[in-house]
């Protein structure tokens, strides 16, 4: 591949930033070249073909000089980096974001979040600690990496036969991530060889397997083992964690702390419909896909049109004889033309070989896909009717998205009526749209049923209008027990209080991680740490793990055995979260989704900016805890 070929695939705004590093000349940041982004644009910041070529030509000259043995000039100073951040963002970034975004940018070669317990006191304390991590998905693996760096002994308990969590379990046709690869990877472990812009399940599973190998974590993991109970012993200030292996043998592990990394979306939920289980043919949840069932030529029913069904339907529709899709509510479709596309070879080359290009590309993704869109799902108090939209900006986005839907379904007003959501954008999870989903629904062998389901029968599905839809296979794309946090094991804290009994169906935690009465117990991806439109869950994982490890460091520094969040701190935090969630599209009274628990409270979502979570989790404030 020639340099010219590679540069044809460049993300020009990121290439401009790399050009400054290659030449030391910040004069390239000409105001006439500043990107201006459009939600529906091509991602090149509205730069004309001529301006794009101007950047390519100068980058080519700089790269040739560099490859000929040139050395990089000194790194840009702080003021220049600040200017570059504003430039590539196409906007003036608020000052409070700068420290946060500089860390995300990660221009330094080293991992700025790496744990270093290098004093004799910390080393001695670390060696005496023992931590149990529950789960070997992306959060459990990161916890293990950081504890290993700190020198803290740990054991990981994993119910599956391999690492990867959701990317091990969900192997249905079409399974892939809905965040760009360069955001859905650890900040310190980029993978420039990702084959797709949005990785498939097998690629992501392989990524996490390689992480486990690189950091030599497998020897710390007990596979095919479940946690039955974690019980705090007040006499020893230790957690007693009872585990059971696949042979049924039980063992109790003593630990100073427990890190629960079991996730939210891994316990399949079957619908509350009469007759579930009575169907005589194959019937299974997408998260437990039956690869032994041949769908070729069969009459197949898919119940649900959420993110999973959205991915499954286009994959299976060419094979089946007849596909009947049962929709309770339509998802909003976010235009993403490259959702199934491979990453061009030229872009892979640039990511690997052009200094800082990959870091700036990740930074651009992070800014434009995170807090940049959050305002579009915030409720305007002056907006009268929140049944369809929640603000002028939200309404404008709604109208534009409907036009995109209509463009894909010419001559099918009947289908348009069914697939246009009747709720504000942001009230529920939207899905990535590159045209294949609506094209699948428009095929002659597909029926989209919006009448409610009355019951499952031995031969098929009966709807509320009395019609019986006879099928050979039923696929349930009906989501997970998301609001029933940590439902797979029993957790007993002080005074014999069980965590789920304390929650009574309304899970709450300080920063999503800690609960009064449960000292040294930390949850990752806990209550109110989900995100709707702004970013990758890996951001929350990295922030949470840093906070948890710094909590353990606080114990080591103070010589305390336990730390327990204060009730008033916990309650005040949750009151602020609840109040803010009511100001978002997913919190309005008419919004119905898995973001709300059975009591109607939004127990899933973080309603603030990402920078607020970053600031709150840099390190624990000792005043928030009772140390003993």
Question: Are 252 and 174 in a shared domain?
Answer: yes
Q: Looking at the domain assignment, is residue 288 inside a domain?
A: yes
Q: Looking at the domain assignment, is residue 567 inside a domain?
A: yes
Confidence at 307, pLDDT banded by 50, 70, 90: very high
Of 358 and 369, which is predicted with more confidence? 358
Answer for the pair 591, 585: CB distance below 8 angstroms, yes or no. Answer: yes
Is residue 246 pLDDT above 80, yes or no? yes
Q: 42: exposed, middle or buried (C-beta count within 10 Å: 0-12, 13-18, 19+)?
A: exposed
Residues 66, 60: Cα–Cα separation, whole Å: 10
**pLDDT tens digits, 120-140:** 999 999 999 999 999 999 999
Task: Say which residue the tokens 């949840």 belong to.
Answer: 285
Question: Are 320 and 229 in a shared domain?
Answer: no
Q: Looking at the domain assignment, is residue 275 inside a domain?
A: no
Is residue 109 pLDDT above 60, yes or no? no
Last residue of a domain, one of 459, 476, 493: 476
Q: Phi then psi for 555, rounded to 5 degrees? A: -60, -45
Task: Say which residue the tokens 């935090």 belong to.
Answer: 573
Question: Are 458 and 486 in a shared domain?
Answer: no
Count structural domains, the chain. Answer: 3
Last residue of a domain, one of 457, 476, 495: 476
Question: Are 98 and 212 in a shared domain?
Answer: no
Last residue of a domain, one of 416, 446, 476: 476
Confidence at 346, pLDDT banded by 50, 70, 90: very high
- List the alpha helices (DSSP H) in 178-241: 201-214
Orientation of helix 537-558 relative to helix 120-128, angle to 10°: 100
Count of CA atoms in the C-beta half-sphere (13 A) of 585: 29
Mean pLDDT of the region 600-619:
94
Mean pLDDT of the region 167-181:
94
Question: Are 310 and 251 in a shared domain?
Answer: no
Mean pLDDT of the region 489-514:
97
Q: Containing H/E element for 469? A: strand 468-470
**pLDDT tens digits, 472-494:** 999 999 999 888 899 999 999 99
**pLDDT tens digits, 198-234:** 999 999 999 999 999 999 999 999 999 999 999 999 9
Mean pLDDT of the region 334-353:
94
**pLDDT tens digits, 10-62:** 999 999 999 999 999 999 899 999 999 877 777 899 999 999 999 999 999 99
Orientation of helix 357-369 relative to helix 98-105, angle to 10°: 140
SS3 assignment for 304-335: CCCHHHHHHHHHHCCCCCEEEEECCCCCCEEE
Mean pLDDT of the region 246-260:
98
Of 105 and 278, which is predicted with more confidence? 278
Beta strands 154-157; 131-134: pairing state: parallel
pTM: predicted TM-score of the whole model, two decimal places: 0.95
Q: Looking at the domain assignment, is residue 126 inside a domain?
A: yes
Q: Looking at the domain assignment, is residue 272 inside a domain?
A: no
Residues 87, 83: Cα–Cα separation, whole Å: 6
**pLDDT tens digits, 535-551:** 789 999 999 999 999 99
Q: Report pLDDT for 249.
A: 97
Answer for the pair 533, 377: CB distance below 8 angstroms, yes or no. Answer: yes
Question: Are 471 and 491 in a shared domain?
Answer: no
Confidence at 182, pLDDT banded by 50, 70, 90: confident
Instruction: Find all residues with CB under 8 Å of 99, minimum gap 6, and list them.
Output: none
Per-residue tokens: 426: 């942001």
Q: Phi then psi for 99, rounded to 5 degrees? A: -60, -40
DSSP-derived secondary structure for 96-132: GGHHHHHHHH--SSS-TT-----SHHHHHHHHH--EE
Answer for the pair 363, 88: CB distance below 8 angstroms, yes or no. Answer: yes
- CA distances 105 to 85, 93, 351, 356, 545, Å, are 9, 14, 14, 9, 19
Is 593 in a helix, a strand, or coil?
A: coil
Mean pLDDT of the region 371-385:
89
**CATH number of the domain that 402 lies in?**
3.50.50.60
Is residue 112 pLDDT above 90, yes or no? no
Q: Looking at the domain assignment, is residue 378 inside a domain?
A: no
Is residue 110 pLDDT above 70, yes or no? no
Q: Looking at the domain assignment, is residue 603 inside a domain?
A: yes
Q: Report pLDDT for 183.
A: 86
Mean pLDDT of the region 167-180:
94
Question: Are 132 and 236 in a shared domain?
Answer: yes
Percent with pLDDT over 70 in the chain: 99
Residues 441, 437: Cα–Cα separation, whole Å: 6
3-state DSSP percent of the chain in helix, strand and coil, to 5: 40, 15, 45
Question: Are 517 and 601 in a shared domain?
Answer: yes
The DSSP secondary-structure symbol of 126 reads: H
Question: Are 511 and 464 in a shared domain?
Answer: no
Q: Report pLDDT for 532.
A: 81
Task: Say which residue the tokens 């990089």 belong to.
Answer: 72
Q: Looking at the domain assignment, is residue 278 inside a domain?
A: no
Of 197 and 182, which is predicted with more confidence? 197
Mean pLDDT of the region 239-265:
96
Q: Report pLDDT for 367.
A: 84
Residues 457, 131: Cα–Cα separation, whole Å: 49
Question: Are 293 and 437 in a shared domain?
Answer: yes
Question: Are 503 and 595 in a shared domain?
Answer: yes
Q: Report pLDDT for 534.
A: 67
Q: 74: exposed, middle or buried (C-beta count within 10 Å: 0-12, 13-18, 19+)?
A: exposed
Question: Are 212 and 103 in a shared domain?
Answer: no
Mean pLDDT of the region 95-108:
83
Residues 217, 229: Cα–Cα separation, whole Å: 24
Q: Report pLDDT for 106.
A: 82
Percent with pLDDT over 90 in the chain: 84
Domain with 307 in it: 283-337+386-476
């Amino acid at each position: 591949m020639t340099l010219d070929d590679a540069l044809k695939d460049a993300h020009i705004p990121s290439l401009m930033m790399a050009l400054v590093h290659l030449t030391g000349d910040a004069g390239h940041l000409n105001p006439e070249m500043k990107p201006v982004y459009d939600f529906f644009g091509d991602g090149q910041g509205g730069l004309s073909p001529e301006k794009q070529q101007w950047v390519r030509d100068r980058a080519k000259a700089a790269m040739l000089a560099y490859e000929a043995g040139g050395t990089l000039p000194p790194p840009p100073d702080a003021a220049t980096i600040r200017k570059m951040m504003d430039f590539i963002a196409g906007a003036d970034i608020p000052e409070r974001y700068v420290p946060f975004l500089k860390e995300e940018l990660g221009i330094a070669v080293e991992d700025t979040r790496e744990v270093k317990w290098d004093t004799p006191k910390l080393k001695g304390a670390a060696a005496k600690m023992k931590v149990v991590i529950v789960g070997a998905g992306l959060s459990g693996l990161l916890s293990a990496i950081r504890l290993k760096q700190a020198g803290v002994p740990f054991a990981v308990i994993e119910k599956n036969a391999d690492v990867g969590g959701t990317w091990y379990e969900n192997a249905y046709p079409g399974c892939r991530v809905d965040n760009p690869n360069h955001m859905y990877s650890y900040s310190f472990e980029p993978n420039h060889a990702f084959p797709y812009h949005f990785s498939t399940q097998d690629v992501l599973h392989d990524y996490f397997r390689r992480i486990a190998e690189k950091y030599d974590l497998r020897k710390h993991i007990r596979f095919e083992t479940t946690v039955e109970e974690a019980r705090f012993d007040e006499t020893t200030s230790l957690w007693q964690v009872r585990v059971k292996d696949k042979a049924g043998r039980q063992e109790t592990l003593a630990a100073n702390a427990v890190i629960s990394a079991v996730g939210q979306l891994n316990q399949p939920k079957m619908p509350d419909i009469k007759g579930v289980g009575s169907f005589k043919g194959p019937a299974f949840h997408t998260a437990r896909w039956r690869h032994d069932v041949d769908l070729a030529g069969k009459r197949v029913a898919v119940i649900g049109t959420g993110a999973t069904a959205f991915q499954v339907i286009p994959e299976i529709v060419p094979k089946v004889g007849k596909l009947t899709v049962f929709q309770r509510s339509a998802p909003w479709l976010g235009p993403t033309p490259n959702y199934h596309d491979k990453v061009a070879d030229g872009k892979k080359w640039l990511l690997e070989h052009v200094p800082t290009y990959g870091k700036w590309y990740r930074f651009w993704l992070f800014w434009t896909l995170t807090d940049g869109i959050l305002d579009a799902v915030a409720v305007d108090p002056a907006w009268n009717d929140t049944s369809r939209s929640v603000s002028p900006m939200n309404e404008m986005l709604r109208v534009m998205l409907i036009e995109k839907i209509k463009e894909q379904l010419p001559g099918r007003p009947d289908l348009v009526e069914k697939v246009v959501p009747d709720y504000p954008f942001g009230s529920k999870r939207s899905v990535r749209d590159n045209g294949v989903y609506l094209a699948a629904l428009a095929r002659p062998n597909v029926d989209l049923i919006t009448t409610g389901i009355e019951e499952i029968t031995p031969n098929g599905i009966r709807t509320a209008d009395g019609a019986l839809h006879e099928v050979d296979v039923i696929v349930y794309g009906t989501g997970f027990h998301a609001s029933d946090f940590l439902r797979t094991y029993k957790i007993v804290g002080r005074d014999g209080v069980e965590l789920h009994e304390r929650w009574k169906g309304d899970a709450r935690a300080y920063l999503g991680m800690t609960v009064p009465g449960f000292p040294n117990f930390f949850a990752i991806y806990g209550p109110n740490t989900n995100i709707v439109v702004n970013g990758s869950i890996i951001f929350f994982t990295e922030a949470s793990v840093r906070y948890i490890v710094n909590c353990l460091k606080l114990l080591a520094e103070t010589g305390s055995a336990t730390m327990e969040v204060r009730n008033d701190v916990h309650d005040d935090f949750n009151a602020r979260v609840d109040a803010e969630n009511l100001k978002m599209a997913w919190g309005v009274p008419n919004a119905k989704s898995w973001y709300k628990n059975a009591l109607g409270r939004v127990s899933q979502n973080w309603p603030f900016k990402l920078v607020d979570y970053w600031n709150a989790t840099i390190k624990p404030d000792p005043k928030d805890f009772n140390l003993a």
